Amino acid sequence: MIVRWGVASDCYRDSVALLAVSARLAASAGVSRASVAMATPANVAAAVDAGAAGPLDAGPSDVLVLVVADSEEAADAALADGLAALTATIDPAVGGSGSGGEEPATCIADALARSPGGHAPSVALISVPGPFAAAEARKALDAGLHVMIFSDNVPVEAEVALKALGRSRGLLVMGPDCGTAILDGTPLAFANVVRRGPVGLVGASGTGLQEVSTQLDRLGIGVSQLIGTGGRDLSPAVGGSSTLDALLLLGADPATQVVVVVSKPPDAAVARRVLEVAGSLGKPVVAVLLGTDVAAVAPAGVYGAATLAEAARLAARLAEAPAADRGGFVATGLGGPVAAIPGGPDAAGLAAALGGAAVTAATAAASAHGVRDDRPRRWLRGLFSGGTLGYEAQLVLRGLGVTVASNAPAPGSVRLGAGAGLEGHVVVDLGADEFTDGRPHPMIDPATRDRWVAEALEDPTVAVVLLDVVLGHGASGDPLAGLLPLLVARRSGPDVVVHVCGTDADPVPRRAVVDALRRAGALVAPSNAAAAELAAERLMAPERQP
């Protein structure tokens, strides 16, 4: 392998732009790995570990480009392309803005000074390396702007201080590590193109919010606002600060009739406070706190849902129902009578969506509990780019009797140790830090996912491969480029079950992706939870029996 590296001096680009260039280079012919990152000490050390030779004379204000390729020609071409993209005055591929040769704004004050009269921005999106993010966010708050902090690796103490400052000034702080928002119809970072409507969403889970919003869109119900809070917001240290602020904003928003709260399991005391505030809004609130029995602690007016798709269905029915009829709505847990929700799906409806493969909680649970360990192909391999989608899949599988190991285990799962083998049922969050350090997130560049899929398809012990494909702004412009050839080339082997999170209005339309996957022999489920159910059923398909 050939390693090439270069430095673009004094060339700050935010992390979204850097990830975009990384994905562009990684997709180049003959390139096996590409990293475009600010030259922090950690990134410089990672480049040296990858084989960069010679002194790396670079500092935190420089950008380091690293390319690993099959040949010198491919490495040199990709390196030159990356440096050219970074140093171009205006380059849409790296997130530049403006027109006619205008230099892009380089700081918040500069951007505000250029704003035309009466059209000053109200939100600042912070996407600088973590050590610098808090200072930039404070500048934005001082300028009277709401803040969305895309950056991660921000100390929790800084997060607490920023959110306290924002609250004191009546400003919302979303993040750190906030990957999704749709504000007044404008998608920010990773977000889908969904119709406007009466449901407001707030959550500490990016792909969880994407799943609920896209499920709503497919049900014909639109979104008023989608407010991400950052993954730590519901922790004891942060106390749900942004979630509470967002709930009050949505409660006062006349365009919002129903509110949905989305999260992985929050701190118990924080969850009680959030649900208490949710119950005081005077509007119906659906809470899907994955792995938490919301119904056991929720006040009147707050409805619990066990899965993301169930939350969307319930919110849609609440939005459509007259206010006087909302008291009779019932949300149920895994395996319960989901059809008790007005308009909820039954087994026949799900079977039609899957092309005739009937899936019910009862049959899947019976099958999963009966899985035998003496079959050649007997294991499930779940490979997820969306962390919350992988987490939800674990909960669904556990409810159906399938215990998995994971690098990001949900309750009831086993932690997958470093360097441990992959025997058994395994669900991997490929967006976790260990896979994205110096590499693009798999939602941006699916190459890491595709390598794992290739290995799973060749593994004679794997019976089912379970995947997600997340579409939308910020996601890969060609999410199936590496996956389809793998699916088409296989003559036998594991079943492949896929959920596509997106809408037909996304930059890459969902319908086109679904059709291509089905033509390649994949089973495409209508939701992430349904995909996990189908995967559990396929583990005990008759042809899998010894």
In DSSP terms, 261 is beta-bridged to 202, 287
With a cut of 80, say whether residue 253 has pLDDT above it. Answer: yes
pLDDT at 117: 66
pLDDT at 342: 31
CB atoms within 10 A of CB 152: 19
pLDDT at 96: 38
Backbone angles phi, psi at 126, to 5 degrees: -100, 120
Digit-coded pLDDT (tens) for 136-171: 999 999 999 999 999 888 999 999 999 999 999 999
Q: Which domains does the chain have, with CATH numbers?
A: 2-94 (3.30.1360), 105-177 (3.40.50.720), 181-343 (3.40.50.261), 347-544 (3.40.50.261)
The amino acid sitting at 208 is G
Mean pLDDT over the full length of the chain: 84
pTM of the model: 0.81
Of 350 and 460, the one with more pLDDT = 460
Q: Average pLDDT in the 299-327 region?
A: 86
Q: What is the side-by-side strand order in the sheet with 2-8?
A: 2-8, 63-69, 31-38
Residues 467, 453 contacting (CB under 8 angstroms)? yes
Distance between CA 511 and CA 504 in Å, rounded? Answer: 6
DSSP 397-452: HHHTT---EESSPPTT-EE--TT----SSEEEETTSHHHHTTS--TTT-THHHHHH
With a cut of 90, say whether residue 205 has pLDDT above it. Answer: yes
Digit-coded pLDDT (tens) for 21-56: 887 888 788 888 888 888 877 777 777 777 777 666
Distance between CA 354 and CA 285 in Å, rounded? Answer: 30
pLDDT at 432: 87
With a cut of 70, say whether residue 370 has pLDDT above it. Answer: no
Digit-coded pLDDT (tens) for 82-103: 898 887 643 434 333 333 445 6
- CA torsion sign, 178 to 182 to 186 to 189? positive
With a cut of 80, say whether residue 264 has pLDDT above it. Answer: yes
Q: Average pLDDT in the 359-384 region?
A: 59
Digit-coded pLDDT (tens) for 424-440: 999 999 998 788 766 77
Distance between CA 323 and CA 258 in Å, rounded? Answer: 11
Least trusted range by pLDDT, from 81-90, 148-157, 272-281, 325-334: 325-334
With a cut of 50, say whether residue 347 has pLDDT above it. Answer: no
Map residue 536 onto helix, strand or coil.
helix
pLDDT level of residue 456 (50, 70, 90 thresholds): very high
CA atoms within 13 A on the CB side of 97: 8
Residues with Cβ within 8 Å of 303's Cβ and at least 6 positions away in sequence, in order, are 284, 285, 286, 287, 294, 295, 314, 318, 329, 331
With a cut of 50, say whether residue 405 has pLDDT above it. Answer: yes
pLDDT at 246: 97
Q: What percent of the chain has pLDDT over 70?
A: 83
Q: Average pLDDT in the 514-519 region?
A: 97
CB atoms within 10 A of CB 505: 13
Q: Average pLDDT in the 260-288 region?
A: 96
pLDDT level of residue 356 (50, 70, 90 thresholds): very low
Residues 64, 5 contacting (CB under 8 angstroms)? yes
Distance between CA 356 and CA 401 in Å, rounded? Answer: 23
Q: What percent of the chain has pLDDT over 90?
A: 58
